[in-house]
Structure 1
Amino acid sequence: MPGSNFVDYVKICCRSGHGGAGSAHLHRDKFTATGGPDGGDGGRGGHIILKGTTQIWTLLHLKYRKHVIAEDGLPGGSSLRTGKTGKDEILEVPLGTIAKDAETGEVLFEITKDGEEKVLTPGGRGGQGNWHFKSPTVQTPRFAQSGEPGREEWIVLELKVLADVGLVGFPNAGKSTLLSVVSAAKPEIADYPFTTIVPNLGIVAYRGARSFVMADIPGIIEGASGGKGLGLRFLRHIERNAVLLFMVPADTSRTIREEYAILLNELEIHNPGLKYKPRLLAVTKSDMLDDELTQEMRAHLPEGIPCIFISSVAQKGIQELKDKLWELIYQVSD
């Protein structure tokens, strides 16, 4: 999918349907001239509903749909007939979509399962017909309830990519190359920064019929948590990954320990909870290292994180990497 087609933020105006009015009808037929109340209830106004689906992974289809309007409920009728319920508006969204109140920023809910439905903007309730109000003292009420008005509100839908493994690293760390090697994904690859400007997802085949989802997140730079580079726009995608794979190239101008510390610091500033996620460090482009240089670099690796030397081009350490990632994913699922 072209990068321009990836949309992870939309703001829409939602207007649910008004409830139908209750009926104040009094029963009449050729045998009854002064019958009692038989007015039916009004129909409920249509809801606006979000429904999760695995068939889409972007909010592109909602980008230009600024107003979503549900049908009004119809009024009640005679003979206790309830008015028709207004048609609901169902918006399909990718898994990982969060709904927020646009004015307050309050998170309303999130969609994480295929087929999951949640009411975003409820429709107004239908008014009660006059038969609800009959009593020994008021036997023929000539009034009924009006329908409840629908709601109109601005809603923000924000997508956070769901994946088992999220790739974290500076631009040109080899994230896209790894994803293209271990999956069928075809991200853009080049030798200039910010080749990846949208998250790319790939399904990684593992031993037997098993598999897991890997997400290539656009590269982080120092100061990303403060909005530099692609900044906060894509840091949020890292929050939804079960395991974080930090990637540092062997030819980095800094030490591997320094580069890893900067990456980890940017994540913790953005969301302190990220430091508790399982993580693994991969030193990429290691095909340019001989055994002596590899051993020397191992002595200066960051503490508290397992490390694997890999080369996507030379297929070095790839199976070991997948084994370790599967182990970490399995620990999270337990």
Structure 2
Amino acid sequence: MVLSSDNARFSLEKTPPSFVLFGEPTEGLRPIAQALPGVLQAKGYRLAPTEEAPRAVLNFIRADRPTPYRRKAQGTMVVSFLELPEVPQDPIAALYSYLVRALSNMLVVYVPGWGAHFLTLELGQYHEPEGPGFMERVAERIHPIASSVLVVHNRFEPDLEPELWQGDELTESLSAAGRRLAEWDLLPAAFPIEEILPPEDLRHVKRLYGIGGLSYGNLSVRKDERRFWMSASGVDKANLREIGRDILLVTDYDPLENAMRLSVPPHVEPRRVSVDAIEHWMIYREHPQVGAIIHVHAWMENVPSTQFNYPCGTYELASAVAEKVREAPDPSRAVVGLKNHGLTITGRSLEDILERIQGRLLRQVPMS
């Protein structure tokens, strides 16, 4: 599915995305819980039966009890709705824990009479004022989340060549680049997930997604025509050492399983590769001259940007970024802005990228 600015804001797959409602809405959220399903259905969504694993969940939570929806499948996206008397002065610091505790991809904070504040895992945030067309605008804001297809399943194949079990010069360059990005403070942890989630919920997240924590940024380097080394999900990018745990060799994408294929040492219990592996895979396959890719939560002025705020690890975000790389004057040295998110930067090597971005990055990502 690709959304075009020349067409309607909603462009759905042949199989309509499904959704369910979960939780008990507060008095202020009750009108949203009653009206939003009809708006989504008019746009082509389908209300799923309770026994089905839906594409999206509208989860209504309370400040004193942000109950999570326990996903039956990795590909389910959760949008949680919370009513508050006002939005805190620092929304990210005050609200991000609700987002994580409710195991959500997006948090919608509704303030009666004021409107809604939206916050995503990638720190995208924006406001929709209450008034004419409010429910339509809420539906448009959650659509990129609710309709996206996650590519987070990994298929590990214990067939990595023994001579690569300890890495090679390329993995050394990956480790060195990770250390430099950390020195520039460009790979922060979002929030200490183990401090926010109770043990049961933390186990659920790790079991479902195989992550070690929440962190921003990733990097990769091409190994050969079809393979590339990439940082693992949720690891300390400043300390990339163990092959199969901190750094993984991506060999392919399997569209039938919707899974990334990875070659790992047979004696290692592997971690999942970064959720952006599908994006890097698309770029490497289309542009043989690209030798490395870095993604950071920072910004540069006057860069082309994706139009929609798709979540990390989705096929839609990967396609949108790949399209912008394709349109660049030199795809091997492209800089692409990810809406409300950060940058993906291609280069002929990791050193090439680091030289080009040093001193040019803005720490504040513009939100819209």
Using CA pairs below 8 Å that are at least 6 residues apart, which structure has the higher relative contact order?
Answer: 1
* TM, length-normalised to structure 1: 0.27
Query: More helix per residue: 1 or 2?
Result: 2
* TM, length-normalised to structure 2: 0.25
